[in-house]
Amino acid sequence: MLKIHIESTKTPTIIKFVANKILTEGSFEYNSVEEVKNSTFIQQLFHLPFVKKVFVTANFIAVERFNIVEWTDVQDELKTIIENYLTVNDSLFTSKPETKQVVVEVYAESTPNPAVMKFISNKLLTSQNIEVTSLKDAKEVPIAKDLFNFDFVKEVFISDNYISITKNSSDEWFEITTAIRDFLKNYLSESKPVITENYKPKVHEKTEIKPVSSEDLDDISQEIIAILDEYIKPAVTSDGGNIMFQSYDTKSKKVSVILQGACSGCPSSTITLKNGIEATLKQCFSQGGNFEIIVVDGGSTDTTTQVVRNYPSVRLISSIKGRANQLNKGAEASKGSILLFLHADTLLPPNSITSISKELENEHVVGGSFYLKFDRSHVLLSLYRHLSKINHSFFTYGDHAIFMSKKIFSEIRGFKKLSFMEDAEIQKRARKQGKFVKLKLGVITSSRRFEKQGFSKQFFQDMLFATLFKLGVDPEKMKKYYPDHS
């Protein structure tokens, strides 16, 4: 199955989308759509307003952006676009690229492990993770065998387009880096083999690494693998290492992984595992904090009530149809001191409850919201997401998951009985009571209304109604012209 992960570079405006398969045999650079003659997909990339340059080589696509957006705002969507295209299409190109091939380049990059240096090439070296800990193990890895001719080389790890080298402690990197870089550049330029056809992965001396089939794993183990691949592995790879899932003990809740390359023997490995990986897994598996969940049904005719009844800890109450009525009914039934108003098609990020509670410990904060992410990719949705990070009533609405202290909610007498723009109206009053914050966390909501109405039409329609409300137009009058997306 094709996978893409994102890697940052030393240039803030450039990031790499790295695939687990070879995309091209050469290296190609495009500075504009006019230069792209043989790839409709790369032409489409240039139609995105933030794309400045595209570089394709080996197993990754590097994209340089204009400064109109930040990568954090659009990289996930762009990753999905690339992933979807490569899943359906075997090649990026409709014909053999005519662009002039780039010569082999190698540059050195430090890692968190002071004994390891990462040497990165613009050429794909292997699709495997190859760990060579001695000259004896290098028989079927010619490049590693030659590297062991340097007496300062202790171990070699090869993956994708880089080689991580562990040195003997007696040598300093500034003394040996140039020699290794020159060797690798010459070796790769001559198209010498990285491994032979007889190469077989080495069995780890301390822990037997067995191929893990996801079909044989329980649901939690499969989720752990997905989390490691999505959040942990890209960071470990960028540091010149690799991480592999080994096992999960359901009784002790212990997760075992294998570290290779720069991460193996790194002084910070234990800390990374304890504070980084463990924290990420816990975030993804639990929503911390003390809270109650109340579902307010406004007379739905689907399976909503049946679904809710499958969760005994969730309270189900009924109300007259209408968001304002339903939200007020839920607030009235709640027992807590903090209210979070969450639409049924919106998902919270990990640790949301804890983050909200922490913000409201400040006596000057009366409420706030999250920013908005969508469940699918589109350029206008990326722009919508970027705008939703602005802490202003014009860019904050109900699907952003508004939260508020119950005390303030009661003082301003809750939601007005409006059939439209009730979220903007209560926010207007709440902001007068104190500080209204925007969390640096994004909720994921459905893009259904954009798909149903059309992305451009829905986007500009939302902006129009927000402007009309700001100008004082009656929400009830605007409602007549706003489509029902239920």
Residue 354 confidence (pLDDT) = 86
**Residue-level pLDDT at 274:** 47
Across 250-330, the runs of DSSP E, i.e. the strands, are: 254-261, 293-297, 314-318
Decide if pLDDT at 439 tops 70: yes
pLDDT value, residue 174: 82
Please give the structure tokens belonging to residue 381. Answer: 């949705």
- Angle value at C-alpha 48, between 33 and 443, nearest 5 degrees: 160
Q: What is the pTM of this model?
A: 0.43
Structure tokens at 185: 């550049």
Question: What confidence category does residue 208 fall into, taking pLDDT thresholds of 50, 70 and 90?
Answer: very low
Binned at pLDDT 50, 70 and 90, residue 270 comes out as very low
More confident residue, 270 or 172: 172
DSSP 392: S
Q: Please give the span between the terminal C-alpha atoms of the chain, in angstroms, as a whole number.
A: 35
| Per-residue pLDDT at 263 | 54
Distance CA 115, CA 102 (A): 31
Q: Are strands 116-121 and 162-167 parallel, antiparallel or unpaired?
A: antiparallel
412: pLDDT confidence band, cut at 50, 70 and 90? very high
User: Which tokens is 344 given?
Assistant: 């049924």
Query: In the prediction, which pLDDT does 63 show?
Result: 92
d(CA 171, CA 14): 33
pLDDT band with cut points at 50, 70 and 90 for residue 8: confident
Mean pLDDT of the region 257-277:
53
For the chain, what is the mean pLDDT?
80
- Look at 318 and 25; give whichever has higher pLDDT: 318
**Lowest-pLDDT range, 27-31, 194-198, 311-315?**
311-315
pLDDT at 366 over 90: yes
Residue 206 has pLDDT above 80, yes or no: no
Burial-class residue 167 by CB neighbours within 10 Å (0-12, 13-18, 19+).
Answer: buried
- Residue 212: phi and psi, rounded to 5, are -100, 115
Mean pLDDT for the stretch of residues 126-144: 88
Pick 228 or 467 by higher pLDDT: 467
Instruction: Give residue 273's pLDDT.
Output: 44
pLDDT at residue 387 is higher than 80: yes
- List the structure tokens of 383: 């722009």
pLDDT of residue 236: 64
| pLDDT band (50, 70, 90) for residue 480 | confident
User: What domains are there in the chain, each with its CATH number?
Assistant: 4-88 (3.30.1370.70), 106-189 (3.30.1370.70), 217-284 (3.30.300.130), 293-479 (3.90.550.10)
Q: Under 8 Å CB-to-CB from 16, ≥6 apart: which residues?
A: 6, 7, 8, 9, 60, 61, 62
Convert the pLDDT of each residue in 103-116 to its tens digit. 788 888 877 677 88
Task: Tell how strand 365-374 and strand 435-445 pair up.
Answer: parallel
Q: What is the pLDDT of residues 79-102, one digit of tens each?
A: 988 988 888 888 888 765 554 445
Over the stretch 41-84, which tens digit does the pLDDT of each residue have? Answer: 898 888 888 889 998 887 889 999 888 788 888 888 889 889 88
Mean pLDDT of 404-412: 93
